[in-house]
Structure 1
Amino acid sequence: MATTRRMFCFVLVMVLMGCCCSAKIYKVGDSKGWTAKHGTYYDWAKRKEFQVGDSLMFQYDGNVNDVTQVSSRLEYQFCNSLSPKAVYNTGHDVVTLTEPGYHFFITSNHSQCVAGQKLVVLVVHDHPIPPPPPPRKIFPFGKDYKVGDSNEWRVPEESDFYSKWSEEKQFHVGDNLLFYYNDQVDDVLEINSNLEFKSCETTSPVAVHNAGQDLIRLTKPGVRYFITSKIGHCEAGLKLRVEVRPLSKSVPKKMQLSPFDRFINWLHESFRPHPHH
């Protein structure tokens, strides 16, 4: 009897853990594994949403490669493995994503890294364990907009593509813009003015984003301008203007009186005695 009870408790705990934990394990590159393939890991990562608690599984030949986690975009872009955050070299490494933000991985084999063996992932959410009660909603809005939808952020076939894309939507404070693009080809520059936007002026940007997966939060009302610094691309239409509206406040309507109540009020006002002067 005691054995049966212990077995039941064990099964119950496992079921509860399975219900509460939804972390995923992603095999990097799928069937290709971790090897030098230009553009492979950009395409692989952009189709996924990574969350805190998820894990990346790297499979490769440990005699030729390793997995080097670096801290910055510059180290990632220039394949600089001199000051790694962590190094894995077993040939079968599982790396758990423990915090939100960007995570950069390269190989210390410089020629392999330059040939495309590097990965950046954007961790955007947490797995709630267990799921907390839904928080009180502060903002009535908070939508995520993937810029360009299926076209993403790249030189469009029609120069007014992003203008039309933006005009079809209503952006509010609290919404997010998600830029997906090939970081070897383009970037995202936020600029100050309509004049800079029209002339594709890149000398004084407000912010520069170049990770290939950039989440930009719209924090205040007004007009926001985004272009690319790549020569000829902005002029060809790779630029975006969004008008951010303030949060709409629901104004309570005045209580509507029924015709009978209005009649009673009229009688009350009409026959109420007034003081004589």
Structure 2
Amino acid sequence: MATTTRMFCFVLVMVLMGCCCSAKIYKVGDSKGWTTAKHGSYYEWAKRKEFQVGDSLMFEYDGNVNDVTQVSSRLEYQFCNSLSPKAVYNTGHDVVTLTEPGYHFFITSNRSQCVAGHKLVVFVVHDHPMIPPPPPPRKILPLGKDYKVGDSNEWRVPVLTYTKSDFYSKWSEEKQFHVGDNLLFYYNDQVDDLLEINSDLEFKSYDTTSPVAVHNAGQDLIRLTKPGIRYFITSKIGHCEAGFKLRVVVRPLSKSVPKKMQLSPFDHLIKWLHDSFTPHPHH
């Protein structure tokens, strides 16, 4: 009985350690900490990381001159509105645990510093469970591939002037997108945005008057849920004309066809021996 109890405790400790060790603590801004920043500096810091539920952000700063204000919406973040904060931290060493998936917005209540770029948005995904979930119902899309739009160029005006007019066109044509795949758009939300539009006519004429959706968080995930053509542009004047637009052809789910069984040379020999020396009944 004592041995069984010790074994159960050991297994329980190992499970708890496995759950806790998966969480990470990220020091915001690394060595610079949470200080006055230029436009896009915290965007650059966050875009290379993958934040999961249970991870924590550590803000280090001078509590006499600054604070951490968590706001609820993208508009409050964009316009540095700290009048109705979700939470306010001002100890100079604050650890904020990310308890739910989605976007989390942080600014400083010092408006002039916030407008100058002293703000952070992070996108949090669900952590991977230790025990695999049961198979999903057929209506739920299977896990597809993730495509980072533009690869190293990301979502911005193409930097290569001699190919910029068709940069995203070539990027898209080199890939095969299927239902269930994801498009990951990374960009500087202080400079650009992301609009999805309806038709090829709007795409060719850069028409931004009736978009299907508008995104401006700087880190946007678009799920391809049905076959057809998807169109993406930016609302920034002159950028579309410079080739800053994307057209994606989404194919239906590919049906896996079982391949014919291919026999190895050894298997062919065994089959020949079997056919040659097995007696057949006479009619």
TM range (shorter): 0.7 to 0.9
Deviates more, 1:44-53 or 1:14-23: 14-23
Instruction: Give the SS at the match of 2:88.
Output: strand
Give CA-to-partner distance per residue, 1:195-245, whole Å, 9 cap, x none. Answer: 110111100100000000000000000000000000000110000000001
Relative to the length of structure 2, the TM-score reads 0.81
Q: CA deviation at 1:21?
A: 3.2
Q: 2:227 aligns with which of 201, 221, 242?
A: 221
Q: CA deviation at 1:168?
A: 0.4
1:192·1:206 contact (CA, 8 Å) conserved in 2? yes
Deviates more, 1:121-130 or 1:144-153: 121-130
1:29 aligns with 2:29: yes
1:53·1:127 contact (CA, 8 Å) conserved in 2? no
Q: CA deviation at 1:36?
A: 3.2
1:141·1:172 contact (CA, 8 Å) conserved in 2? no
Give CA-to-partner distance per residue, 1:75-95, whole Å, 9 cap, x none. Answer: 001000001111111100000
1:190·1:225 contact (CA, 8 Å) conserved in 2? yes
2:52·2:98 contact (CA, 8 Å) conserved in 1? yes
Q: CA deviation at 1:127?
A: 4.1
Q: CA deviation at 1:40?
A: 1.4
Instruction: Give the direction of change, closer, same or farther, for the CA distance of 1:269–1:172 in structure 2 (3 Å limit).
Output: same
Instruction: Give the SS at the match of 1:251.
Output: coil
1:21·1:127 contact (CA, 8 Å) conserved in 2? no
Query: In the alignment, what sits opposite 1:150?
Result: 152
Give CA-to-partner distance per residue, 1:183-206, whole Å, 9 cap, x none. Answer: 111101000000110111100100
Query: In the alignment, what sits opposite 1:69?
Result: 70
2:141·2:225 contact (CA, 8 Å) conserved in 1? no
Q: CA deviation at 1:267?
A: 25
Instruction: Provide the rounded CA distance (Å) in 1 between the counterparts of 2:265 and 2:151.
Output: 52
Q: CA deviation at 1:6?
A: 8.3
Aligned length: 276
Q: CA deviation at 1:126?
A: 1.5
Q: Alignment RMSD, CA only?
A: 6.1
* 1:1-277 aligned within 5 A: 13=13, 17-18=17-18, 21-34=21-34, 35-128=36-129, 142-156=144-158, 158-251=164-257
Deviates more, 1:27-36 or 1:262-271: 262-271
Give CA-to-partner distance per residue, 1:128-148, whole Å, 9 cap, x none. Answer: 279999999975650000000
Instruction: Provide the rounded CA distance (Å) in 1 between the counterparts of 2:273 and 2:125.
Output: 63
Deviates more, 1:187-196 or 1:14-23: 14-23
Give CA-to-partner distance per residue, 1:83-119, whole Å, 9 cap, x none. Answer: 1111111100000111111100001111111111100
2:39·2:190 contact (CA, 8 Å) conserved in 1? no
1:189·1:206 contact (CA, 8 Å) conserved in 2? yes
1:66·1:88 contact (CA, 8 Å) conserved in 2? yes
Instruction: Give the direction of change, closer, same or farther, for the CA distance of 1:48–1:144 in structure 2 (3 Å limit).
Output: same
2:144·2:179 contact (CA, 8 Å) conserved in 1? yes
Instruction: Provide the rounded CA distance (Å) in 1 between the counterparts of 2:278 and 2:3.
Output: 85
Instruction: Provide the rounded CA distance (Å) in 2 between the counterparts of 1:250 and 1:241.
Output: 27
Instruction: Give the direction of change, closer, same or farther, for the CA distance of 1:55–1:127 in structure 2 (3 Å limit).
Output: farther
Instruction: Provide the rounded CA distance (Å) in 2 between the counterparts of 1:265 and 1:14.
Output: 51
1:139·1:247 contact (CA, 8 Å) conserved in 2? no
Relative to the length of structure 1, the TM-score reads 0.83
Runs of 5+ unmatched residues, structure 1 = none
Identity %: 92
Q: CA deviation at 1:159?
A: 1.0
1:20·1:131 contact (CA, 8 Å) conserved in 2? no
Give CA-to-partner distance per residue, 1:8-63, whole Å, 9 cap, x none. Answer: 96898268514763110000000010033332101000111111111000000111
Instruction: Give the direction of change, closer, same or farther, for the CA distance of 1:63–1:7 in structure 2 (3 Å limit).
Output: farther
Instruction: Give the direction of change, closer, same or farther, for the CA distance of 1:175–1:16 in structure 2 (3 Å limit).
Output: same
Q: CA deviation at 1:180?
A: 0.3
